[in-house]
Amino acid sequence: MFKIVSRKSLNPTVTEMEIYAPFVARKAQAGQFVIVRATSDGERIPLTVADFDREKGTVKIIFQIVGATTYTLNTLKEGDSVADFVGPLGNPTETAGLKKVAVVGGGVGCAIAYPVAKKLHEQGAVVHSIVGFRNKDLVILEEEFKNVSDKYVLMSDDGTAGEKGLVTDALKKLIDGGENYDEVIAIGPVIMMKFVCRLTKEYGVKTVISMNPIMIDGTGMCGGCRLTVGGKTKFACVDGPDFDGHEVDFDEAMSRGASYKEWERHKYEETCNLFSKEIK
């Protein structure tokens, strides 16, 4: 069992947990993920390694409450344990040789973008972090990003936090203003990554994105996380999760990602009702 050392709510729908998992912490790197089961009879879900402390033997995960499993995970308290915490899985984000990078994060995808920005900063690269949220109530990791960024740009759809607009607006403004990036790393909703890649392709800037599709085992056996990249089938868990954004078939990925939305909502409501009855 893997003990929850600490937990806190980052916003109404996003929670951060620090898990004692020394073997995972020892090997974890930015860009990788773990497979978590909240309970012994629960569903396996992939969650990104949001941070790690090798000395303490802990790994941080950040998750959004969107379905039955994340709802169940969110009911666990500090001192409780999760049943399984397997990893690190996937390939680390490649940062060697990069001198100046724009890291673009959207929503809860910032949980993936932050450790990448931190790694780049520790390597001495110039880091421009552009992050976007729907409104001020959903902003997460603001201070953490500021601490590892030479430039931090906060965007919100409604203008209640930072500047009003999309992350693509901010990125375009920076590039048009003369910023030359070795690479853009974009992590967030698939639709956001699609339009970031559409923009950077116009400017000829290499762009890497992190994909988090439907996933079961995380070892390439189930095929559930398949994507089309450069006209070839790839598996996010073993070939990624990072890919050349200019080669990803985003429309296919969005279509497959929406396949279980109705079922997820049903299970979420069913689980909420179950916990409500237990509390009563």
Model confidence over 263-279: pLDDT tens digits?
Answer: 555 554 555 555 555 55
**Cβ 131 vs Cβ 113: under 8 Å:** yes
Pick from 267, 99, 254: nearest CA to 183: 99
> pLDDT tens digits for 10-26?
998 899 999 999 999 99
For residue 211, pLDDT over 80 is answered with yes
More confident residue, 248 or 270: 248
Would residue 231 be called left, alpha or beta, if left means φ above 0 and alpha means ψ between -120 and 50 degrees?
left
Distance CA 193, CA 187 (A): 7
| Residue 259, pLDDT score | 54
Mean pLDDT across the stretch 152-177?
95
At residue 218, the pLDDT reads: 72
Higher pLDDT, 99 or 269: 99
pLDDT value at residue 214: 74
Q: Using CA of residue 158, residue 164, residue 169, residue 174, what is the dihedral sign?
A: negative
Residues facing residue 46 across a β-bridge: 35
Q: pLDDT class for 236, splitting at 50, 70, 90?
A: confident
Q: Give the domains, in start order, of the chain with CATH numbers.
A: 2-89 (2.40.30.10), 100-210 (3.40.50.80)
Q: What is the pLDDT of residue 268?
A: 46
Taking all residues of the chain, what is their mean pLDDT, rounded to a whole number? 88
| pLDDT for position 198 | 95
CB of 240 within 8 A of CB of 264?
A: no
Give pLDDT, residue 237.
83
pLDDT in tens, 38-53: 988 888 888 989 999 9
Whether residue 160 is predicted with pLDDT greater than 60 in this model: the reply is yes
What pLDDT, on the 0 to 100 scale, is given for residue 247?
92
